[in-house]
Amino acid sequence: MDRAERPVRRWPAITATILLGLVAAVWAILPDGRAAHVERLADCYDPGALPRVETLADGRKAVRLRVLLWNVEGLPWPIRSGREAKLDRIADWIAKRRKAGLGPDVLILHKAFTPEASRVTTAAGYRAILPGPARDDKRQFPAAAPPARFADAARWWKGEGIGKWLDGGLYIATDLPVIDQARDAFGADSCAGYDCLSNKGGLALRIAIPGAPETLTLFNTHRNSREPAKVGIARVEASHVLQTQENDALLAAFGDKGALIAAGDFNNYRAGDKRGHFAADPAFHLAAKGPGLAARAAPMTDIRAWTDAYDLLGYRASAAMKVEPLVVATLFDGKNGPVLSDHAAQYVIFRLSWRGDAPAMPIAVPRCPA
């Protein structure tokens, strides 16, 4: 009698096929990560739209620079739904402030992944709107070296190693003349968990302050989240260190030795923040909350500064231009305005000042015709 044939094990292959089909189906209905992308670079500037230069009592010249930092929670379905109305309220509020001459001179956004989120910049009518890494941007500089087996431990069901379907969600918008810009995505293996689905990185601008002897560097980044990444904390912290090193490489290549204002969505005092470029620079301070609306200068190690705000603005002066925070306020946190995002807005007024007899740096962008 013939021996019974062994049954063919088809179930693993069938299961894998079904799973791949489900992944393909989900991928097909995910939002277009390129739809939110907005970019505008003005070829001239309007002096009437810029901060007014004043003379201080000691003879120094100065401007007050209003900076609004906001993680607008512009996440698409299926991560979030029903965000359109609140994003419209954010856009309309900034636009009305601008129309009244009270809007921020510099608007810095995080998590602007949807068209409704990037509309926050266009509705306000800024002449320059510069985004961070686009969805398909690859890292230009060498990626930071990950710990042993870090890349091998990536799991596709946690969003790792399957590509990007969102851009970096970063924007800086301003009417001030933009002299230079640079952006770079984080390395493909420098992320952890579901954060890997967005092409996060860094964005640096060099802007001119009319009358000032040098330019001002603006920097914006959004590093890996912690618990929302849905992977182990050790893996998240390792990615945070890698991304800090990659931000540092971008800044070093761009050149940030002069006056600087840097923004970040960090959430808390993380591994990278304890050892990166800013942490190693004693001249770099955080614009922290003081009594009332007053600001205070805080070192990177100031835990109270980190716990007082989700998102932070830091700064550094130079020999030619002093940078100091005058006002720090948290807006739209349920106390100072309704809650419109999972992060409150951070509003800081900086004073930039320089010697009254210092020659103004020529602006490489022409004035707009009257």
The answer to the question of residue 1 being in a domain is no
Please check whether residue 313 is in contact with residue 348, taking contact to mean a CB–CB distance below 8 angstroms.
yes
The answer to the question of residue 4 being in a domain is no
**Cα(289)–Cα(126) distance, integer angstroms:** 28
The whole-number pLDDT of residue 1 equals: 44
Domain that holds residue 220: 35-354
The answer to the question of residue 13 being in a domain is no
**Cα(71)–Cα(67) distance, integer angstroms:** 13
Residue type, 275: R
The answer to the question of residue 154 being in a domain is yes
The answer to the question of residue 198 being in a domain is yes
The answer to the question of residue 152 being in a domain is yes
The answer to the question of residue 348 being in a domain is yes
What is the rounded average pLDDT for all residues in the chain?
Answer: 91
The pTM for the full model equals 0.91
Mean pLDDT calculated for residue range 349-365: 96
The answer to the question of residue 123 being in a domain is yes
Q: What percent of the chain has pLDDT over 70?
A: 91
Give the CATH number for residue 218.
3.60.10.10
| 236 or 27, greater pLDDT | 236
Place of tokens 């596709």: 156
**193 CB burial (10 A radius; 0-12, 13-18, 19+):** buried
pLDDT tens digit sequence for 206-219: 999 999 999 999 99
Burial track 309-335 (b if 16+ CB lie within 10 A, e otherwise) = bbbbbbbbbbeebbbbbebbbbebbee
* DSSP of 264-286: EE--S--TGGGTSTTTT-TT-EE
* Counts for the chain of helices (H) and strands (E), in that order: 5, 14
pLDDT tens digit sequence for 71-98: 999 998 888 889 999 999 999 999 999 9
* DSSP of 250-261: HHHHH---S-EE
Overall domain count for the chain:
1
Highest mean pLDDT among 4-18, 198-212, 222-236: 198-212
Read off the DSSP letter of residue 282: T
pLDDT tens digit sequence for 277-301: 999 999 999 999 999 999 999 999 9
